Amino acid sequence: MNTASSHMLPGDLYCVPLTNGRFGAIVLTASGAEFRFLVLDGFWDSPPTLAEISSVGLMRMYEWMDSEIFKGWFRPPFPERCVRLGHRSIEPDELSRYLDSSGTMVFQSAEDFVEVLSERWRWRFDREALTREKELLRAAYEQKERKRSENRTLKSMARERPFSHWVDQWPRATVNKAHRIIRNAAEQLIELQASPATKAEMTAVLKKITDEFNELYRQTGCIETQEREEIVDWVEQLATRVGLSNEDERLTGHRDW
């Protein structure tokens, strides 16, 4: 750590080196057993000065829509390369609102946050190349999925980690939770298949997947267009293997994403 967390105060401003040699900045809202912060809406080619960031506003969670501000959370250590630039006063009622966990993106580590902020830089300044890369990754994923789905069983689906590529955009801890939701559902369906279970019981397990992803989305905001399509596809694949259907989104229609 570049300073003892007890000396890090809400409102402290830090420079964040990105993976591409550029720089972002955050304002701290909590420190100690965890670090909470807000992301400033700016990028710089060299470490910014306090004067350069003093009037910079807060970044939105999603630039392409009128979303909440970009709030983040990660556990210690706080990276030494993030240099303190100064301080910005935050009123108590304003700080209380920022510390509300709703809409906060949870990162497994500071490194995960840096990866996400670096990609945000690319979205703003290198969007065409980033989009092309994502399209290629998407095409490769879909081809791989088509081959896998031909021989999938509930047992094999319980062992798979279908959302591993999400780590390019979302914290690993969030991706692990997504995998756990699918694995638990597959294991429950296997148990029900081995007993005289009803279709209603099978349906309840499948609908619960959407309930749990609704909660994950509420906590992390991690589901966008690609993630939504992949989640629904997995619900439909699980449903097919127990003789059910997601026609008219009867299993996923209550989703919030």
* Residue-level pLDDT at 62: 80
Residue of 140 and 5 predicted with greater confidence: 140
**Same structural domain, 194 and 177:** yes
Domain that holds residue 87: 5-125
Region 93-97: what's the mean pLDDT?
Answer: 93
Q: Which of 139, 59, 138, 147 is nearest to 103 (CA)?
A: 59
Are residues 121 and 146 located together in one domain of the fold? no
Same domain, yes or no: 119 and 197:
no
Looking at the structure, tell me whether residues 140 and 244 fall in a common domain.
yes
- Residue 1 has a pLDDT of 38
Domain count across the chain = 2
Same domain, 181 and 214: yes
Is 254 inside a domain boundary?
Answer: no
For residues 144 and 240, state if they share a domain. Answer: yes
In a domain, 255, yes or no: no
pLDDT at 106: 86
Whether residue 231 sits in one domain with residue 148: yes
* 257 occurs within a structural domain: no
Mean pLDDT value across residues 7-11 = 93
Q: Are strands 71-74 and 84-87 parallel, antiparallel or unpaired?
A: unpaired
Confidence (pTM): 0.61
The predicted model gives 30-56 an average pLDDT of 95
Question: Is 223 part of any domain?
Answer: yes
Q: Is 179 helix (H, G, I), strand (E, B) or coil?
A: helix
Banded model confidence at residue 60, pLDDT cuts 50, 70, 90: very high
pLDDT tens, position by position, 212-240: 999 999 988 889 888 999 999 999 999 99
Q: Are residues 72 and 176 in the same domain?
A: no
pLDDT more than 70, % of the chain: 96
